[in-house]
Amino acid sequence: MAYNRCMTDSPRSGELDLAIIGGGAAGVLVAIQVLRQARAPLALALFEPASQLAQGIAYATPWPEHLLNVPAAKMSAFPDQPGDFLDYLLAIDAYPGEPREVLGERYASRHHFAAYLQQRLQDAVAASPARLQVLAQPVLGLQPDDHGYQLQLGGGHTRHAAQVVLATGNSMRPLPVSGADALPADDVIEAWDYDGVRTLAGAHALAIVGSGLSMADTVLALVAAGHTGPLHVISRHGLLPLPHAHGGLPDFDPATLLPMTLRQRMHALRGYARQAQADGLPWQGVMDRIRPHGQALWCSLDDADQRRFLRHVVRYWDVHRHRIAEQVHAQLQALQDSGQLHLHRARLQRVGREGARLWLSGREAAGGERQWTIGGVINATGVETRASALRNPLLQQLQADGLARPGPHGLGLDSTVPGDRLLSASGQPQARLGVLGSLRIGSLWESLAVPELRQQAQALATQMVAGAATAMP
């Protein structure tokens, strides 16, 4: 079913009680929560330039081979209704005949998740006294005043909102190779351009820069589109994501890790993994056991240990933490075994085109220069987390005007912990400006995925609804 905009998508004058900036999964989760919690006719607006809500980057793929990396049973939009995504999949008969217990373990196609959030948004609109406008345009700037924020829109338009939530999500990282800017647009495709990637399929060689989850998406899409040529996956560390595994969770108390230093924690985790394997359990269970404690684990590391983690551990952490479905891992393995997929540990140097020949050069970790002749480059380097490199004009304006400052270690934007208010350049919490999702990575580390987003959305909505009630005459 096509999704209908909830009310209007043209800018209208009128005071907003709440503006949510960004209509990816996070912004839509906040909107649903506000609609559900509102007891009065609040004026709520969701600003999202993309044609569809709730897709953002992760869930915009229409292709069935692009799977969630979290089992369906853990993808509910609501902290207090853990089976809700499963209920939705069963209601639409997404996987005919599959019993609930089996479906709960499934890594469902990602497009189902966007459709699910769209459905729950429509349900919430229908049942709420609050009114939602969906405005199909970006917010370019925010100016504070005594009553909230003036939102700057395109064409000199403005709207005023008493409270604002920043849900601008993931930013793309540019291709880390000199010469990329001078190439024709068709030579470099972003991994999140899900249709564009497929247009590169053929018998020629392709380079995929980055070896994480977006690389896995890219390889699956190319193979599904009939690509038969070599695939050169190039990354500085040459690490592929590891597979999920089924099995019980090892029995240890993650809270015992909190007082430990980074070194002690890593030692303890390796010990738990060895013990799990001795007990016939997969090592993955150790990561799953500590997964709900990710924010507490980050926040309890001191500044120096956080830095050590970012410098020495994060690459290895990521492949253990951000895993792929077993069948996807098996497919990557089979492509490596057949000689179609080549993994290169290399630092890229230049990319260029001479007539019909596109080439990429780099220095391999094993030593020596290497040049690849390719039919196209796919940028699968993932999410940009450095505040200074965020290319979103709104986020640049907020930093330039002192309404925001980089988060710890320069990652994302700084916010209150506990809490969810954006901190100004001078460290003042902004009572009317909340933030959730990946912008909070420096403060919380685990702040990207649905298990965290749904908690943050619920808490933010409660405060925003209470704030609107206080402000009402």
Ligand X SMILES: Cc1cc2nc3c(=O)[nH]c(=O)nc-3n(C[C@H](O)[C@H](O)[C@H](O)COP(=O)(O)OP(=O)(O)OC[C@H]3O[C@@H](n4cnc5c(N)ncnc54)[C@H](O)[C@@H]3O)c2cc1C
Report the residue number whose CB is nearest to ligand X.
Answer: 56
Please say which residue, 385 or 438, places its beta carbon nearer to ligand X: 438
Q: Does 152 bind ligand X (CB under 6 A)?
A: no
170/358 with CB nearer ligand X: 170
Stretch in the footprint of ligand X (CB under 6 A) among 31-39, 66-74, 125-133, 291-299: 66-74
Question: Does residue number 71 form part of the binding site for ligand X (CB under 6 A)?
Answer: no
The runs of H, that is alpha helices, within 52-162 are 84-91, 100-105, 110-127
| Interface residue with ligand X, options 50, 224, 225, 296 (CB under 6 A) | 50
Q: Using an 8 Å Cβ cutoff, are 63 and 114 in contact? A: no
User: Considering only residues 70, 262, 269, 341, which one is a binding residue for ligand X as defined by CB under 6 A?
Assistant: 70
Considering only residues 448, 457, 461, 468, which one is a binding residue for ligand X as defined by CB under 6 A? 448
| Residue among 279, 17, 306, 33 at smallest CA distance from 162 | 17
Contacts of 430 by beta carbon, 8 Å cutoff, 6+ apart: 144, 403, 421, 422, 423, 424
Exactly one of 6, 16, 21, 465 binds ligand X (CB under 6 A); that residue is 21
The verdict on 465 binding ligand X (CB under 6 A) reads no
Instruction: Choose among 398, 397, 403: nearest CA to 424.
Output: 403
Which residues lie closer than 8 Å to 191 by C-beta, 6 or more apart? 197, 208, 210, 214, 215, 217, 218, 378, 379, 380
Size of the site for ligand X (CB under 6 A): 33
CB 300 within 8 A of CB 309: no
The full length of the chain comes to: 473
| 437, 446, 465, 468: which one binds ligand X (CB under 6 A) | 437
Annotate 339-386 with DSSP letters as a single string: TSEEEEEEEEEEEEEETTEEEEEEEETTSSEEEEEES-EEE---EE-B
Contact call for residue 27 and ligand X (CB under 6 A): yes
Strand extents, DSSP E, 22-82: 43-47
Q: Smallest distance from the beta carbon of 296 to ligand X, in angstroms?
A: 19
Residue 3 or 47: the one with the smaller Cβ distance to ligand X is: 47
Should residue 341 be labelled a site residue for ligand X when binding is judged by CB under 6 A? no
**Which of 35, 167, 209, 310 touches ligand X by CB under 6 A?**
167
Contact letters for ligand X, residues 394-423 (x by CB under 6 A): x-----------------------------
CA 35, distance to chain mean position in Å, is 24
- 285 near ligand X, judged by CB under 6 A: no
Number of Cβ atoms within 10 Å of the Cβ of 48:
27
- As measured in angstroms, the least distance from the Cβ of 358 to ligand X is 25
Cβ closest to ligand X, residue 173 vs residue 344 = 173
> Can residue 118 be called a binding residue for ligand X (CB under 6 A)?
no
Contact between 206 and ligand X by CB under 6 A: the answer reads: no
- C-beta of 408 vs 437, nearer to ligand X: 437
Structure-derived torsion over alpha carbons of residues 340, 343, 348, 354, reported in degrees to the nearest 10: -10
Q: Kindly list the residues in this chain that would bind ligand X in the complex (CB under 6 A).
A: 21-27, 47-50, 56-59, 68-70, 138-139, 167-170, 213-214, 392, 394, 437-438, 448-450
